[in-house]
Structure 1
């Protein structure tokens, strides 16, 4: 397996993995992913097994310390020189879960963000996953203001 950043030709595969990983109310649709890819393809980390996309992590960079719902669909908020790497989704297709795929990507994202001089990484997660992200050094900052998908999210931060 290998990790690389995205190119425009990955759009359909990214949309398919996203749809397989999140309920419709939470998943980014193809148009949203296309807008993100057009602005920050180098902030999509893809894990492939041969020619198969099995997992990916994506998110914009910003000076804002909190992930806001508007960021998911407004790619123009991306600031390549920003202090914080936002993580919008950690996606692994069902057949590859519990094999460390997401963990490999989370470690790579953190390493890249650190080498780019960022302050850290920010994500939101459901309560059941707080312990998972904590195992990578993320700290829970409480219930998020996010209403994305109509569920309760928790703000998580990895500070370098």
Structure 2
């Protein structure tokens, strides 16, 4: 397996990230191009991209909050985001469908967690579909509860990692 390279997202990455996002997520659950641009602009430290042989193949984006309410859709708009806050909220963990199933998401997540730990963050929160609960549990996340969020018309589960 070629060695992936990780870096912070740049504004010029927005369109590629959007293409990956809409290719990997169903229906209305994908972020818009405008949301991706906002996330890169407002919190590049929490927007990790993964490249393989100089091609962007995946990313994780996040924001930070003092109080986390995962079902609050405003979180995805970075409303209340404070880069200095101790709690990280992951909005997307996405691998280009052409590269899925090869372990890249796990490598990317480990790199992201290490970076957040080094940044002094205390917790990482995320929501996932039921089929991904076991994957995140293996990564060290604890199950919190079924989420009241109906984002994208889907059922979600809240997960938490204490750093």
Does residue 70 (structure 1) correspond to residue 70 (structure 2)? The answer is no
RMSD: 1.1
C-alpha distance in structure 2 between counterparts of 1:154 and 1:35, whole Å: 25
Q: What is aligned with 1:143?
A: 146
C-alpha distance in structure 2 between counterparts of 1:76 and 1:156, whole Å: 21
Q: What is aligned with 1:152?
A: 155
C-alpha distance in structure 2 between counterparts of 1:150 and 1:19, whole Å: 16
C-alpha distance in structure 1 between counterparts of 2:105 and 2:130, whole Å: 18
Structure 1 residues without counterparts, runs of 5 or longer: none
**SS of equivalent residue, structure 1 residue 3:** strand
Q: What is aligned with 1:134?
A: 137
C-alpha distance in structure 1 between counterparts of 2:39 and 2:49, whole Å: 14
CA displacement, residues 16-50 of structure 1 (integer Å, 9 cap, x when unaligned): 11011101310001011111112112211111112
Q: What is aligned with 1:53?
A: 56
- Count of residue pairs the alignment pairs up: 159
Structure 2 residues without counterparts, runs of 5 or longer: none
C-alpha distance in structure 1 between counterparts of 2:117 and 2:18, whole Å: 28
- TM-score under structure 1 length normalisation: 0.94
CA displacement, residues 118-137 of structure 1 (integer Å, 9 cap, x when unaligned): 11210000111100000011
